[in-house]
A and B are shown apart, each in its own frame.
Chain A
Amino acid sequence: MNAPQEAVASLRMTYREACKQALRQALLADSRVFLMGEDIGRYGGCYAVTKGLMEEFGEARVRDTPLSESAFVGAGVGAAMAGTRPIVEIMTVNFSLLALDQILNNAVTIPYMSGGQFAIPLIIRMATGGGRRVAAQHSHSLEGWYAHIPGLRVLTPATIEDARFMLIGALADPNPTLIFEHVMLYNMEGELSSDINAVDIDHAKVLRAGTDVSLITYGGSLFKTFEAAARLSKEGIEAEVVDLRTLRPLDTKTILASVARTRRCVIIDEGWRSGSISAEIGMRIAEQAFFELDAPLRRVCGREVPMPYAPHLEDACLPQPETIVAVARELVRPT
């Protein structure tokens, strides 16, 4: 049925609200879905994403846990094996390390080790990234590091649309999925078009077309990259912005197609540079599109230090629009 041409209604909401609506939709749609995590129920979630859900769905389906990351993530693995659809929240990426055994040694290995007898349709959401002045145990970006692991799907929603619908896509995937929500995005507001009710979770997306340089990024760096692209445009440089959206499996095709158009590429990644997802992307371009390039590959990454507390130091650690502009400009107009 073709809808008559009329202005499509849109809804203004925060990224946080989009995440919450996704969870609510998941709980409404399937009685096997339940949430589990620290302070997600009575407290309402440490980033208030799950606020009100316990009141609506009850304590059994919005399950507060003690501070036992390994046990409740492992419980998610077992519960997924035994027929439910757990969605686990880990407060922040650094805490996920307490559950790394369950993620890597169980969630990832069991489908393979069991010869395909068991799937682990487990979703783990966590906050990631810097910018909130909470220092070196709450601010890192380990999503690229998780993307090293075969068997995981790694999602990094940056837009309101992806925050709202990537979870629904993840629920349709029978594999363990990590969703990284950047802490600086929760308060971001945006429009959600009412004619969208799903997004694909397999592909990167060109969010700004350009001809001179590809800026490849994801998550919290996306909006800094948009800002950089706007500034570059004023200088007559048209940057193409690619939102990776999914770090594993990585959509190499979209990356290569963009680089083939612009012949220059900067990868912007809040994670540490060495052994990072940006390194992986750069190498794939080098392997598969070397002769398309008119300039060396460049990166703007997080500084290789534990995140410092002091604001001027933290800001200096994170990719910033001016750095992105400077690096892109140098590529397009070498001095």
Chain B
Amino acid sequence: MGAGISKVSIIISKGSLEGIYPGLIMANGARAEGIDANLFFTFFGLDAIHAKRLEHIKVAAVGNPGMHMASLIGVLPGMSAIATHMIEKKMEQIDIPDLPEFMEMIADTGCGIYACKASVDLFGFSKDDFIDQVQDIITVGEFYELAAGGEIIFT
């Protein structure tokens, strides 16, 4: 076996459930393999670490071919909530944690958790808006420093 991966820095830029979870699973999975990991939340990804928003993350029901459902149906009021509820139930059945629990778990593994300064400024947030697990608000340059020597994954 060749040299494995020693560090991954994962960017989460989307605010939908299916846009957030893959990055988190990759970060958690990296830590479980002994790989150092960082999470960098930017743009709508900030919703995943926003104290008031992370419990209301939805599945995209419109313009989402992965839903296998016509967008014309997806625009109907309540469809996104139904789709989200269905996926959340399935996730609970196979013990995938909900977002608040998942963030706590990932923080406990020693993964770095950061918010993007540019996006924080864009949306007018402050550190107080975020969950306790967020360590710092950093610039893109600071992110590159953290990520140096490892892999960068954009989601």
User: Are A and B co-members of a single complex?
Assistant: no
